[in-house]
Amino acid sequence: MTTDHGHPAVRMYIAGEWCQGETGRTAPIVNPATEEVIGDVPLATTADLDRALDAAAQGFQVWRATPVTERTRILHTAADLIAERAAEIGRTATREQGKPLRESTGEARRTAATLRWHADDARRAYGRIIPTDPGTVLTVRREPIGPVAAFVPWNFPVGGPNRKISSALAAGCSLVIKASEETPASAMELVRCYADAGLPPGVLNLVFGEPAEVSEHLIASPVTRLVAFTGSVPVGKLLAARSGQVMKPSLMELGGHAPVIVCADADPVTAARTAARAKWANAGQVCTSPSRFLVHASLVEEFTAEFVKAAEAVTVGDGLDASTTMGPLANERRLKAMERLTADAVAHGAEIRTGGERLDRPGWFFAPTVITGVPEDAELLSEEPFGPLAPIVAFHDLDEALALANSLPYGLAAYGFTDSAATAERLSAELEAGILSVNHCGGSVHEAPSGGVKDSGYGREGGPEALDAYLITKRVSHLLVP
């Protein structure tokens, strides 16, 4: 079923049924490229959430008892469906989030691949047998932690929810997931693939609602055993504190402010082209987006000139147009934030080299922006822009660059460009970050862990580590009766 705008009609998915919620309360879904309302999203009441919690409690008993081979088969079937439907899911994501079709369909395809990785990893959640006294068997078992309360944002409307869903289901957990009310149809179409693949009712429940109300209720419930959140640092701290009050573990994937260190021996043109490509992806709304460009003073002009060239080559437009290489910002809050951060940098004496303003057309479009001479006390150097702003700062020696890079409370992604193996090793050892890329701006890969240090959160998604948060470790010592 679709709305008058051809957008999927959004429903919640509770206990294996698509539903609208008890009161029929809704919020509008807006296309960021046109500012038109294209549908609405149902908002859960406490009674809806309680139904989802009951379903997850029962779904957990069913899913944990399902043979792992069968769980894996269902997850692979869901991955096949996601891959088959990637083009349509991508269109839905672009319509409600704004990113270019190439990025959104690519996200849907990667989602299928990530799910396959986790589906196979479900079969490797090994325990161990520990040598001990004769007559005793000492083992360590890994068991699913239980129903999960998950909360995901709007920047990866398909891949974001899937990271939580695929890890939890692979580990044998059930979930109640609240996806973003701003990109709900993408999450719904993802969940539909799992439902159509034969996932038993209650194992996966999708809700929307007033975020604070939903998280308070789901975290406080004794049904949920793990809180998994992706989003901003302030909200992450709030949810981690709430989880702590009820002694519930949490997985926190929060924001960063990724430094890019371009060393004196790097090629400034290659570094600028590579970093610029990563900068404009998803209009800079990626938690690992490069966001502070620390460039050796001897290279800074050449680097800036190439970066400006790359910015001016970007085609900003509606993500549904094939020629678009950067879409609008996903919501008006980000547009306002770009205007505020740019104005503050200029007030502190920075110079806009290109961009610096919203486009004169409907939609939340902001031009790719390069800013130089940004002093340390400008907000842009301490607040994650989460948008298409590239502040460039010159440094004179590596100690200074490392100190600047590590000076913020964040530690998610970091990037370095250098020709020297010794310098690369120093960056690897000394940058305070959970994810480091040298001489490229690599995105996340499902085979390897992603996650932060310091205020950027804790726990890892991707790689074999992804299942850790979703499994408990149980020691069993069995004295054999002679």
Site residues (CB under 6 A) for ligand NAD?
151, 153-155, 180, 211-212, 215, 230-232, 234-235, 238-239, 253-255, 287, 333, 384, 386
Token pair of 281, please?
A: 């992806």
The conformational region for residue 85 under phi > 0 = left, psi -120 to 50 = alpha, else beta, is alpha
Residue 123 vs 333, nearer CB to ligand NAD? 333
Residue 212 vs 479, nearer CB to ligand NAD? 212
**Residues with Cβ < 8 Å from 339, sequence gap 6 or more?**
357, 358, 366
Residue 333 vs 474, nearer CB to ligand NAD? 333
Residue 211 vs 464, nearer CB to ligand NAD? 211
**Strands 413-417 and 204-207, bridge-based pairing:** unpaired
Nearest distance in Å: CB 303, ligand NAD: 25
Amino acid letter, residue 29 = I
Residue 15 vs 27, nearer CB to ligand NAD? 27
Which of 168, 128, 136 lies closest to 152, judged by CA? 168
Nearest distance in Å: CB 257, ligand NAD: 9
The conformational region for residue 247 under phi > 0 = left, psi -120 to 50 = alpha, else beta, is left
Residue 226 vs 310, nearer CB to ligand NAD? 226
**476 — phi, psi (to 5°)?**
-125, 120
In angstroms, rounded to a whole number, what is the distance separating the alpha carbons of residues 28 and 352?
35
Nearest distance in Å: CB 336, ligand NAD: 10
Burial label for 351, CB within 10 Å (0-12, 13-18, 19+), is middle
In angstroms, rounded to a whole number, what is the distance separating the alpha carbons of residues 471 and 35?
43
DSSP character string of 314-332: --BS-TTSTT-SB---SSH
C-alpha distances in Å from residue 459, one per residue of 101, 172, 251: 31, 18, 5
C-alpha distances in Å from residue 65, one per residue of 70, 151, 301: 10, 26, 62
Residue 96 vs 253, nearer CB to ligand NAD? 253
In angstroms, rounded to a whole number, what is the distance separating the alpha carbons of residues 386 and 2?
31
Q: Which residues does the annotation mark as catalytic?
A: 253, 287
Element (H, E) at 81: helix 68-84
Nearest distance in Å: CB 400, ligand NAD: 26
Nearest distance in Å: CB 308, ligand NAD: 25
Nearest distance in Å: CB 293, ligand NAD: 18
- Three-state DSSP state, 202: coil
Q: Do 175 and 147 form a contact (C-beta atoms < 8 A)?
A: yes
Element (H, E) at 349: none
Sign of CA dihedral 199, 201, 203, 206: positive
Per DSSP (E only), the strands in 355-440 are 369-372, 389-395, 413-417, 435-438
C-beta neighbour count of 445 within 10 angstroms? 14
Residue 356 vs 385, nearer CB to ligand NAD? 385
Nearest distance in Å: CB 148, ligand NAD: 14
Residue 153 vs 319, nearer CB to ligand NAD? 153
Nearest distance in Å: CB 280, ligand NAD: 17
The one-character DSSP state at 463 is S
Nearest distance in Å: CB 351, ligand NAD: 24
Beta bridge partners of 228: 150, 251
